[in-house]
Structure 1
Amino acid sequence: MIKEWILKPQPEADQIKRLQNQLHLHEALCALLIQRDIKNIEEAKAFFRPELTSLHDPFLMKGMDIAVERLTQAIVNEEKILIYGDYDVDGTTSVALVYNFLMELSPNVFTYIPDRYTEGYGVSRKGIQWAIDHNVNLLITLDCGIRAVENIQFATNHNINVIICDHHLPGDVLPSAIAILDPKQSDCTYPYDELSGCGIGYKLLEAFSIQNGIDHNKLLNLLDLVAVSIASDIVPVTGENRLLAWFGMKKLNNSPLPGFAALIEKAGMRTPLSISDVVFGIGPRINAAGRIGHAKTALDLLTQPTKEDAYVFAEKLNLENQERRNYDESITTTALEMIKEDGQVEKNSTVLYKKDWHKGVIGIVASRCIEHYYKPTIIMTESNGQITGSARSVNGFDIYQALDKCRGHLIQFGGHKYAAGLTMTPEKLNDFKIAFEHSVSELIEEKQKTPILDIDLEIDLEDIDFKLFSVLKQMGPFGPKNMQPTFCSRNVILKKEARVLKEKHLKLFVSQAGTTNNFDAIGFGMGHFHNQLDTPFDIVYTLEENHYMGQTTLQLMLKDIRV
């Protein structure tokens, strides 16, 4: 697939020189820092050596005073408290965070996570009914609730007080909760509005600790849960998120919660872990519980007192993740064949339906299809006599807007610009396919049909050494708005014949004319370039360490090649 290379705006030479004089770093590193809005030594110190004292006062968040007062009252009066969270990583880590903290203060703390298949996303009527039946006095929602107007009202009508901790965009009407903690409320003046759902839960507990004189180390001991939520929910790794992720990853690597320790061991992962390891190693295993079975397995893992107790749940998550991968691979293979057979290659959208596809992985499959055919994609299956689907978009295209134009064919739909879910009756399928293709064709711009590869800097291979890489590592944790630096090098030549590994991965040994630096380069899924590299070529890549037989070398992780 051809990608458009976009070189980010480059800092002025005098800006780079000024920062270089203060930090005594390579000019490439100074350019990267300026791109991240770090322009002097004080800002660099705050970036490279973050301190938890830089976190914002939690009481700046609208509703925090009321939330803390009500939670304190519930604990003092020994009321029943239900911690309710969604079934994804952010939801389960949020519930584990608040439960692990409060369970030592009260014997009346309970948890609830909805079933993906029978209840769906968010605060369900069944969940509220459970709270009513068990005489719950206080309901705390995490990573959900801001749009659950009817069900929160149902709880209120049955004398259940609700504290909403959410990070999603509110609707026009707010639920009837006694306190809503969501920095995205238009009248909330909290300085940072990109916290994960677990991050909002952390701020509630932080405020509660301050108000009640609880040792802050009790809360810091749970920071690895916040780091995993930030990594897996793909929120910007800036501001408070970067602070929480920085200290949370430190906790995860040095003294993880028993559940994480068991999962890391069972998964065969090697520490120190990076954010990327969390995204591709820990996150999918926790998510697999809600996709294949019930997310309670993940919550059970994260609330065990010892690693030995957690092993059984870690093993179950490993097995469910393998089952999820099997579904993922087989359905993706079938989907890609259907795109060719159904003549959808030339269309502006991809819409596929198969009755027996597993509902828990169709969103993943939609993303996989976009990797091969870069266009807005919907993958659908049957559930409870209806057709249900997951939609995924391409860079810059608002798939929610496209679905809104097709609302007449749908029972319901919801989501945001890049991902959405939808439901329809079977007889509407063909009309919907036509309507969605028409909608996408009308809205999509030509530039949105080509994937973009963002490049931070163009550098020479001669500039790369362990000193440069050491500073690059300290720029993490990486994630949205603070991505791992991506480089471009021109006129690269082969020092050895190119190899193809496992019939699809490219292995190169490269250099540039007139330089002494040589590097191994790996391009996953790029084996098709094997016979195209007789002449000098350009590469885009990130840098990684490679540990092999007791030796550590730097290698280039290829993102694209231009001959």
Structure 2
Amino acid sequence: MRWTLKPKPEQHEIDALSKALNVDPLVAHLLIQRDITNYDEAKKFFRPELAQLHDPFQMKDMNIAVERIEKAIVNNENILVFGDYDVDGTTAVALVSSYLLTFYPNVATYIPDRYTEGYGVSFQGIDFAEDNGFSLIIALDCGVKAIDKVAYAKAKNIEFIICDHHRPGKELPEAIAVLDPKRDDCHYPYDELCGCGVGFKLVQALASRRDETIDDLIPYLDLVATAIGADIVPITGENRVLAYYGLRVINENPRVGFRAIINQIKKTELTITDVVFIIAPRINAAGRMKHGQHAVDLLTETNLIQAEQFASGIEKYNSDRRDLDQEITKEALSQIVENKEEERYTSVVFKETWHKGVIGIVASRLTETYYRPTLVFTKSGDKLAASARSVKGFDVYNALEGCSECIEQFGGHKYAAGLTLVENQYEAFKAQFEKVVGETIDPKLLIPEILIDAPIKLSEISPKLLRIIKQLAPFGPGNMTPIFMSENLNDSGYAKGVGEDGKHLKLSVNQNGIGPIGCIGFNLGEKLSLVKNGNRFSAAFSLDENEWQGHVSLQLKLRDIRNT
């Protein structure tokens, strides 16, 4: 792995902030790296307030969207809340529909089928709206590129309000309103909201017209925090405030659907990491294995017994998803080896029987293994569908634009995208994608990078430091968990591989007579020889807690080790 030490802030800046906040210089160092340079900024960071949220009417078209919904209510129209089948989409649909239903009954939800309809707004969904008398569709986490679909709906006298956060194309759909902070002509102060976040801004705007305050909307923030974590948007600015309060709701007073999941996993005090790796996969599993509407049903249920039945079904979907994920990943890795493609700039694999619901996860697994921009294809009707994942620093969305002549349609983000193409274009696309990536990627991006905030001595590590670092949470893009490095370490003599086949590394370290401090290195078991026999080594790590038989102790969570 590539260790990159972040630039150290100027010493006078560290000293000034350390004095202003009465904190250790190391803490001031970490804050300045997060663009926090004075007392007021630190106060906002450590003590987020809902008052810091922006006025939703600063978003382009918000006033139009609110007026159209109010008109629909006055005219007793049927409103269809439509969203994508992933976590961001289903949480957004649950949020907007459940809010509207608190004061207006003519509201229903629609999640497209991943297999028969595919991603985003669908013709089938519009036909459903026509057949059932819906004259207004609110599309969440999708729609900003659905020009033909919105035109199709318009011909049927069905109007659209689009709430999206993906990059628009050159042309916008002819919707009544397009709420998307990434629009070039939208000057909303924060453009990194997730789809559920844009949906929340719509609800915030509607609420303000009904003399409701932001405090009335706090119960909906568990959904927003889950979407923020799952969609890997930056946890900065407005997202940090929403995630901070959303996590508080999840831990103190979650909606019944979350309570049902938490009761199953029997875990207390969830962090944003727990939301990403425990709650989000379960919500996602519904859309991957069965249908995303199951997730909406769980997230909007108000009866705990019924919610626990829904959660039990979703748990089964998640278990099936894990089994398929492992099986397909194994096949995909074998395909790369058999085709002798380890030295390519990209990993592109295809098998027509692979389950469409898990190819995105498999693409992530392959990226972890070979660290290349990766696409996993499967058959979807008479087309091929793929999920793309990228490596840090490389924009796979731009790379796909460079292959557009081979692609039928695509959409997504810098690091994750989806696409479809006709089967006879597969080989041409594969060659073009390899060519585009090979010509545009910096070779160093093909080596995983660990960004290190600061070097540190073991003598500087303490429970107090860990307590302060925990206050920097919630962590995520834009505010990652601080990573430190220490040199000239040695093991106290008890290093061993633990877990299946010694996959993980467990040891305790000393440095110049300071220590020992316990360490765990997940998936670092193969580096056991580096720390044996009194060898000196360097470690990159974050600070963590180890809980064992009721006893909590500080430990280092190793990210990598290497010879000093």
| TM-score, scaled to structure 1 | 0.96
Q: CA deviation at 1:20?
A: 1.2
Q: CA deviation at 1:440?
A: 2.8
| 1:541 matched residue in structure 2 | 541
Cα distance in 1 for residues equivalent to 2:164 and 2:202: 11
1:374-393 superposed matches below 5 A: 374-393=371-390
Q: CA deviation at 1:499?
A: 0.9
| 2:69 matched residue in structure 1 | 71
AA of the residue aligned to 2:546:
N
Q: CA deviation at 1:452?
A: 1.3
| 2:331 matched residue in structure 1 | 334
Cα distance in 2 for residues equivalent to 1:110 and 1:223: 21
Instruction: Output one character per residue of 1:414-462: Cα deviation in whole Å (capped at 9) or x when no partner.
Output: 4343223233344444444334333333333222221111111111111
| 1:222 matched residue in structure 2 | 220
Q: CA deviation at 1:386?
A: 3.1
Instruction: Output one character per residue of 1:512-557: Cα deviation in whole Å (capped at 9) or x when no partner.
Output: 1132x32211111111011121311111111111111111111111
**C-alpha spacing 1:387/1:200, structure 2 compared with 1 (3 Å):** closer
Partner SS state of residue 193, structure 2 = coil
Instruction: Output one character per residue of 1:93-132: Cα deviation in whole Å (capped at 9) or x when no partner.
Output: 0010111111121110110111111111111111111111
| 1:141 matched residue in structure 2 | 139
Contact 2:530 2:537 in 1 (8 A): no
- Gaps (5+ residues) in structure 1? none
**2:516 matches 1:529:** no
Of 204, 229, 232 in structure 1, the residue corresponding to residue 230 of structure 2 is: 232
| 1:128 matched residue in structure 2 | 126
Cα distance in 2 for residues equivalent to 1:209 and 1:384: 42
Contact 2:530 2:562 in 1 (8 A): no
| 1:558 matched residue in structure 2 | 558
**C-alpha spacing 1:532/1:429, structure 2 compared with 1 (3 Å):** same
Cα distance in 2 for residues equivalent to 1:514 and 1:349: 47
**2:498 matches 1:496:** no
1:307-318 superposed matches below 5 A: 307-318=304-315
AA of the residue aligned to 1:511:
N
1:7-156 superposed matches below 5 A: 7-156=5-154
Contact 1:75 1:105 in 2 (8 A): no
1:286-305 superposed matches below 5 A: 286-305=283-302
1:420-435 superposed matches below 5 A: 420-435=417-432
Contact 1:506 1:525 in 2 (8 A): yes
AA of the residue aligned to 2:472:
M
**C-alpha spacing 1:465/1:223, structure 2 compared with 1 (3 Å):** same
User: Alignment identity in percent?
Assistant: 50
Cα distance in 1 for residues equivalent to 2:25 and 2:73: 55
1:247-258 superposed matches below 5 A: 247-258=245-256
Cα distance in 2 for residues equivalent to 1:349 and 1:372: 12
Partner SS state of residue 180, structure 1 = strand
| TM-score, scaled to structure 2 | 0.96
| 2:340 matched residue in structure 1 | 343
**C-alpha spacing 1:338/1:247, structure 2 compared with 1 (3 Å):** same
Of 146, 163, 166 in structure 1, the residue corresponding to residue 164 of structure 2 is: 166
Number of residues of Structure 1 aligned to a counterpart in Structure 2: 559
Q: Which moved more, 1:141-150 or 1:425-434?
A: 425-434
AA of the residue aligned to 1:532:
L
**C-alpha spacing 1:294/1:470, structure 2 compared with 1 (3 Å):** same
Of 258, 261, 268 in structure 2, the residue corresponding to residue 260 of structure 1 is: 258
Contact 1:165 1:182 in 2 (8 A): yes
**C-alpha spacing 1:440/1:185, structure 2 compared with 1 (3 Å):** closer
Of 476, 484, 489 in structure 1, the residue corresponding to residue 481 of structure 2 is: 484
Cα distance in 2 for residues equivalent to 1:352 and 1:525: 25
| 1:197 matched residue in structure 2 | 195
Cα distance in 2 for residues equivalent to 1:216 and 1:531: 56
Contact 1:379 1:389 in 2 (8 A): yes
Cα distance in 1 for residues equivalent to 2:90 and 2:322: 21
**C-alpha spacing 1:6/1:177, structure 2 compared with 1 (3 Å):** same
Instruction: Output one character per residue of 1:304-359: Cα deviation in whole Å (capped at 9) or x when no partner.
Output: 01222201111111111111111111111222222222211122222222222111
Cα distance in 1 for residues equivalent to 2:403 and 2:159: 38
- Gaps (5+ residues) in structure 2? none
Cα distance in 2 for residues equivalent to 1:396 and 1:20: 32
